[in-house]
């Protein structure tokens, strides 16, 4: 059972609208891809500091409110993922729901989404009000790689927090491999820092 919320669709719409409003569009890397995001361990990270780095993509010149930037998800199992992101930091309505803030990426090989909802228009008795999620997915298949969220926290009694401080989104929670509730016993603690610029 997947825990990805409708925030993925909302995030992709946000990217599409930013790209269409941009004068220059995306800047591709030398190999033609539109970005990079890959897991690294602490040992790999230290060995990569001396290796030449490929050029990174830049955010569109006219992103939605909040601008673009960089997000890093760090898991306590040693994996870390970095993304170029587009942020929406002002409350907005989408599909009948209030989104307080969001950051999305369509990098390869992994995409990324973080969304904090406000009150949902559908009467759920408050059950789904204020839900938030952090999701990393395979950009080729759209299968979840890791996912954390307030829905999982309600199920297993863990803590999930998303906060906006100026133009920085921070978060922490338990991440499920594959976003699959069958992996709940092997959930990994992790954190997010997204600098929206």
The token pair at 12 is: 């992709």
**102 close to 113: Cβ distance less than 8 angstroms:** yes
Q: How much is the pTM? A: 0.67
What is the per-residue pLDDT across 151-187, written as a single tens digit (0 to 9) for each? 888 888 889 999 999 999 999 999 999 999 898 999 9
pLDDT tens digits for range 92-116: 887 777 899 999 999 999 999 999 9
Coil, strand, or helix at residue 48?
helix
């Amino acid at each position: 059972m997947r825990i990805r919320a409708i925030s993925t669709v909302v995030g992709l719409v946000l990217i599409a609208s930013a790209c269409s409003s941009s004068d220059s569009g995306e800047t591709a890397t030398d190999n033609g891809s539109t970005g990079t995001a890959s897991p690294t361990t602490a040992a790999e990270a230290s060995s990569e500091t001396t290796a030449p780095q490929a050029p990174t993509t830049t955010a569109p010149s006219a992103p939605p409110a909040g601008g673009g930037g960089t997000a890093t998800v760090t898991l306590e199992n040693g994996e870390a993922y970095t993304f170029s992101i587009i942020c929406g930091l002002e409350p907005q309505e989408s599909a009948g729901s209030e989104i307080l803030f969001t950051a999305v990426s369509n990098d390869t090989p992994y995409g990324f989404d973080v969304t904090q909802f406000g009150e949902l228009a559908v009467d759920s008795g408050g059950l789904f009000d204020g839900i938030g999620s952090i999701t990393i997915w395979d950009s080729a298949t759209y299968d979840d790689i890791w996912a954390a969220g307030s829905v999982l926290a309600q199920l297993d009694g863990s803590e999930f927090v998303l906060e906006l401080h100026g133009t920085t989104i921070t978060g922490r929670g338990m991440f499920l491999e594959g976003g699959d509730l069958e992996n709940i016993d092997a959930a990994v603690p992790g954190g997010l820092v997204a600098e929206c610029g």
